[in-house]
Structure 1
């Protein structure tokens, strides 16, 4: 990927489709980050918005300028996360690229830890430790508690909500393909030993309610299956699962959580609540 006027800093890319209610808090948390060694630019890509997402993003420009950081807002007429990534990358100048969802709240140390972890010429990918948040829905609360015990959450670097890579890593593919699961595709373009988990945390909100949870989880399963079908060579980079805690042990420790988890998983495979929309929100 050609980079114009590159600087040795960090570019944070935020795709935002009708995210006016979530984006200000995301930007506030980002602006509260600990100091970084190099310059920082933040690029909000407002894509296909019918609300005032772009206006609310621009309202944060003075706060970033006060830190000596750059905040730019790009507006695209067409919605779509992959198009937003491509447009944001075309404008980005950083040596480290951070891909941040508009509903995620990062902790102050995360950016600086990613900057340090991804420095150098070797291809590297990184993310922090997700703290999955819920707002009180009974099903969501129990499902989330058990989901946190799965191998995806306990091993490796999940990377959902926020992930980062250096330019050497990003050079492994061209434009983002038209796929559902961008985070899976990005993560599996790196071998397990190339993926770095930094200790800083970030908050990622879980979708609330049984039916929305099923729709989103079905879409996520479809996204992983799509990557496996279109890019089978990437699946060799998945994390090993031979040392995972058995399901029955986890179920004994949390029988109610296991029951809710199984109910959601069974409904995912039932011919109900199906949606033709590839872009069901993750929360």
Structure 2
């Protein structure tokens, strides 16, 4: 049996899609929705439509605070940490739990499926290359979900106040301890505007910069994922790869500028995919 934690801040537009994908999952003992600082009707939707769910109404609008409070209600392991704007495939809980046991993984995630059907051309080109990069298949990328075993959760104390909670978690595990479970999927809606893509990818870069500066996690060599890009540049994927490289440079530049004023950083959200 497993537990699911869903942190939710003003997720009224998407929370039902997420919970509908969870409530009928076999081998799921408890669903905990940690509503944090909501000013919309997220809490009311969860309480009224999903009485079987543990709904926490927290006043502080902080994702990491929500995760820490939700963990006090964990009843069984592994624990699935799922963002409110994604959905799991049928039997994902069973398949991921079994895959972790079989492969002796401490950290895992379902395989990401990115819906770009509502995204503009430039965003679609970015994801064409992004999905071809080795680290997508190597496992547990920042795709709005991760799963930790009971043993794995002993690697760190509480979630610290950081931008990248999933990056923080991933930094506590070595390559042989983590992986994606290909039999299960997490469905992610891609940004519907280029501006929104820039926001969330800059935030991801900024989060990694913060983790490195604060020396959180293990001291591990950085993987050289960009080694595949030259071969893609000289292939039929040259256009999408060129766009990817340009946008990644943009993300990094923007993140570096934001890092200079990290104390005043305001969390950036992709509202376009939540419509």
If the TM-score is normalised by the length of the shorter chain, which range does it land in? 0.7 to 0.9
Report SS of the residue matched to 1:132: strand
CA distance in 2, matches of 1:87, 1:228: 26
**Which residue in the other structure is 2:206 paired with?**
222
**Which residue in the other structure is 2:69 paired with?**
87
Selected match of 1:236 from 220, 230, 235:
220
Selected match of 2:158 from 157, 160, 175:
175
CA 1:111/1:213 → structure 2, altered by over 3 Å: closer, same or farther?
same
Detail structure 1 runs of 4+ shifted over 3 Å in the superposition: 117-120, 269-272, 274-278
CA 1:233/1:136 → structure 2, altered by over 3 Å: closer, same or farther?
closer
TM-score (norm: length of structure 2): 0.86
Does the 8 Å CA contact 1:118/1:165 hold for their aligned counterparts? Answer: no
Gaps of 5+ in 1: 1-8, 63-69
Post-superposition shift, 1:177?
0.6
**Which residue in the other structure is 1:6 paired with?**
none
**Which residue in the other structure is 1:28 paired with?**
20
Post-superposition shift, 1:271?
5.8
Selected match of 1:112 from 77, 88, 94:
94
Report 1:120-269 matches (<5 A).
Answer: 124-134=106-116, 135-158=118-141, 160-199=143-182, 200-231=184-215, 234-236=218-220, 240-241=223-224, 246-251=228-233, 252-269=235-252
Gaps of 5+ in 2: 259-263
Q: CA RMSD in A?
A: 2.5
CA distance in 2, matches of 1:232, 1:74: 28
Cα-to-partner distance string for 1:86-143 (whole Å, 9 max, x where unaligned): 01001212121110000111001210122223459x7711111001112131221111
CA distance in 2, matches of 1:163, 1:153: 13
CA 1:233/1:183 → structure 2, altered by over 3 Å: closer, same or farther?
closer
Does the 8 Å CA contact 2:137/2:180 hold for their aligned counterparts? Answer: no
